[in-house]
Amino acid sequence: MSVNLATMLREGTKKSHTMAENVGFVKCFLKGVVEKKSYRKLVANLYFVYSAMEEEMEKLQDHPVVSKIYFPELNRKQSLEQDLYFYYGSNWREEVTLSEAGKAYVERIQQVADSQPELLVAHSYTRYLGDLSGGQILKKISQRAMNLADGQGTAFYEFEDITDEKAFKNEYRQRMNELPIDQKTAERIVDEANAAFGMNMNMFKELEGNLIKAIGQMLFNTLTRRRVSGSTELATAEQ
């Protein structure tokens, strides 16, 4: 039995998608306010999340459901390694750690892979289709906000093995609609996708404190420079 899972996921996660876009860290990001230390922590978390998801999907590549949406060309682990090298240096493996929210996300991926592999469809959909849909926009925002040269720190957004992203997304959605699942399983996948959005939001929220501190420091520095400049101008005028 096949169901229109692609439409179910799109409609069933609209609220979660809107909520994710309204998390403080994401709102700042979309407005071009990106603090490098916070961003690199997000990259580190994503490295662990994608490593777990891609490891489990590779193990399950012959599973009747997972096999249908298993596309190695989507893998992000290697590109995230390149970005971590850029942000942390050659010893990045000793530098990066998994946050509490990231740990919960990884554990959930491993749990469903072990007990309900079909739910990996939800995690794949939530991350990969989001990456493909907004990747180039987020790449440009990152480059402008952090003054990055092309190819520096943004490998995550590059899908070199996918030449036509729109066509690929259409194929991916078609594959989802052809999955050998029933209505109840499809509903569980939608529920899991909403949970995945929640886990992503929790990772974003962890970074808000650091971002607020960074913005406050930038404002303080700007005001201090203005005051110093103003004092200098006043002293010069009085001479």
Return d(Cα 120, Cα 5) in angstroms, integer. Answer: 14
The reply to whether 64 falls in a domain is yes
The reported pTM is: 0.87
- Whether pLDDT at 126 is above 60: yes
- Domain-embedded: residue 238: no
Please tell me which residue, 131 or 229, carries the higher pLDDT value: 131
Give 156-181 pLDDT, tens digit per residue.
999 999 999 999 999 999 999 999 99
Q: Is residue 20 part of a domain?
A: yes
CB burial string 212-221: b at 16+ within 10 A, e below? eebeeeeeee
Q: What angle do CA 84, 89, 90 make, to 5 degrees?
A: 100
CA-CA distances (angstroms) from residue 124 to 50, 52, 76, 129, 238?
9, 11, 11, 8, 67
Residue 154 near residue 134 (C-beta atoms within 8 A)? no
Least Cα distance to 88 among 39, 33, 49, 143 occurs for: 39
Is 50 exceeded by the pLDDT of residue 200?
A: yes
pLDDT, one tens digit per residue, over 74-106 is: 999 999 999 999 999 999 999 999 999 999 999
Does residue 68 fall inside a structural domain?
Answer: yes
- Distance, in Å, from the CA atom of 234 to the CA atom of 203, rounded to the nearest integer, reads 47
In the chain, the amino acid numbered 54 is: E
CB 21 within 8 A of CB 30: yes
| 221 inside domain | no
Indicate the SS3 state at residue 89. Answer: coil
Instruction: Give 186's contacts (C-beta < 8 A, 6+ positions apart).
Output: 3, 5, 8
- Does 217 reside within a domain? no
pLDDT band at residue 134 using 50, 70 and 90 as cut-offs: confident
Per-residue model confidence (pLDDT) at position 232: 47
Query: Domain for residue 225, yes or no?
Result: no
Q: Using CA atoms in the order 212, 213, 219, 220, what is the torsion angle rounded to 10 degrees?
A: 160
CATH number at 184 reads: 1.20.910.10
Domain total of the chain: 1
Query: For residue 185, is it within any domain?
Result: yes
CA-based nearest residue to 176, from 17, 41, 36, 9: 9
Give the tens place of pLDDT for each residue, 30-56. Answer: 888 888 899 999 999 999 999 999 999
For residue 83, the enclosing domain spans 5-208
List pLDDT tens digits, range 202-232: 999 999 866 555 554 444 455 555 555 555 4
